[in-house]
Structure 1
Amino acid sequence: MKIQLALDRLSINEAISITKLVESEIDWIEVGTSLIKEFGMQSVKEIKAAFPNKIIVADTKTMDNGKYELEMSFQAGADIVTVMGSAPLITIKTCLEIAKKHQKKIMIDLLNTSEEQVNSLLPFTEAIFCEHISKDEQELSGKYKAQTKSRLKKQAVVEVAAAGGITLEAIHQLIEENLDVAIIGSAITKAKDPAVAAHAFKQTVIKGGVLS
């Protein structure tokens, strides 16, 4: 299992500083939607420049205008760009085409998608799929609600990520479900000691026997 560090509600300098503390414990770095909205593609450029050997995920949450947004993101240094699973299929197909042209990937965010929508996306096996509990839902429920195994792993051989308030306790369930990527934000970035928190996640993954 890979650990993707989600950087949100931070300045670019804060995001870089925190990531330097945990760089050895994480696999992918996500430039969160809030950074992109506040600072634009400069956030992607600067974080890629600071961590050139890491996979950079630009969480653009693309819903439309796929060619423009993905070209812009890949040119800024992103390796993976997110597109919403609720977007029109033509947008998702366009994003796949642009990613293939650049030899990059897309992550399809399944936030608030129906079973019918998920089933329509399963043929896109070259994409990463992300089961996502929204920030608003997290604040309402107070905890991560696992749902990935029943929605995807039983139905298709696809790469699956999970995001949304994932804690050290919740990571055990993701390991049991044999998911591919755990997207962790505040549990590391808002921790008293981010390095200690990231190390605890990494060691839990290693002990779970699914390190990749």
Structure 2
Amino acid sequence: MKIQLALDRMNMGEAIEMARTVESSIDWIEVGTSLIKEFGTNSIKEMRKHFPDKKIVADMKTMDNAAYEMDLCFQGGADVATVMGAASDVTIQKCLEKALEYNGKIMIDLLNVSDSRLEQLRIYNQAIFCEHVSKDSQEIADHAMIHMRNHAGSMSAAAGGITLSSLPVMIRRGVDVLIIGSAITKAKNPAEAARLFNETMNGEKGVKKV
């Protein structure tokens, strides 16, 4: 089980400093959609340069133009790039092909993806499937719970408002990647918050993190 730090709504200096502050307690670093939109794919290159030993996730949320956008992500140093589950099959397939070309991975964002569409997506079992409560939904319902569906045979991820109190539920549901943003980045002491997430996760699993 991995902790993915989501970095959004900050400048690049702040993002790099935040990742540095919590580096020892997290596994993957997500270059958030807002960073990519504001600072371009150079934000991916910057994060790779500063954290050569971490997995870098480019939250591109690709909907179209897959080959071009995946080239930008993976050439920039990403290990994982995101594509929306609502995108066409041809787009998702092209993302997967590009990921294989660069020895990377695709994360399919299941935001607003119906159960019937999810069934169609199961053929892409090399991808990571991410259940996602949107930021806008979180602002309307402070305690919006992530609905984890069955992703047997594929890696699973969860994103959207995960807190220390909801963490044990996510762990018991067998999520492979926990994507945590504001609960760490907006904490009074981000390093301490990240450490508590790490320790709680390991305590629930009963294994030592490597």
Shift of 1:210: 6.1
Partner of 2:87: 87
Identity %: 54
Task: Read off the aligned partner of 2:70 and give its amino acid letter.
Answer: L
After superposition, give the CA deviation of every residue in 1:23-61 in whole Å (9 maximum; x if it has no partner).
000000000000000000111110110000000000000
Partner of 1:61: 61
Q: Which of the numbers 152, 163, 166 marks the counterpart of 2:150? A: 152
Partner of 2:161: 165
Q: Which of the numbers 197, 200, 209 marks the counterpart of 1:201? A: 197
Matched, 1:97 2:97: yes
SS of the equivalent of 1:152 reads coil
- Structure 2, gaps ≥5 residues long: none
Partner of 2:171: 175
Task: Read off the aligned partner of 2:169 and give its amino acid letter.
Answer: Q
Moved more, 94-103 or 138-147: 138-147
Shift of 1:116: 1.0
Conservation of the 8 A alpha-carbon contact between 2:41 and 2:76: yes
Q: Identify which of structures 1 and 2 has the higher relative contact order when contacts are C-alpha pairs closer than 8 Å and 6+ apart.
A: 1
Following superposition of structure 1 onto structure 2, how do residues 1-212 of structure 1 map, counting pairs within 5 Å?
1-148=1-148, 151-153=149-151, 156-209=152-205
TM-score (norm 1): 0.96
CA distance in 2, matches of 1:142, 1:82: 25
Conservation of the 8 A alpha-carbon contact between 2:44 and 2:76: yes
SS of the equivalent of 1:157 reads coil
Conservation of the 8 A alpha-carbon contact between 2:30 and 2:59: yes
**Cα root mean square deviation, aligned:** 1.0
Structure 1's consecutive aligned runs of 4 or more residues displaced over 6 angstroms after TM superposition are: none
After superposition, give the CA deviation of every residue in 1:75-110 in whole Å (9 maximum; x if it has no partner).
011000000000000000000000011110000000
Conservation of the 8 A alpha-carbon contact between 2:26 and 2:194: yes
Moved more, 77-86 or 201-210: 201-210
SS of the equivalent of 2:112 reads coil
After superposition, give the CA deviation of every residue in 1:92-150 in whole Å (9 maximum; x if it has no partner).
000000001111000000000011110001111100000000000000110241311xx
SS of the equivalent of 2:205 reads coil
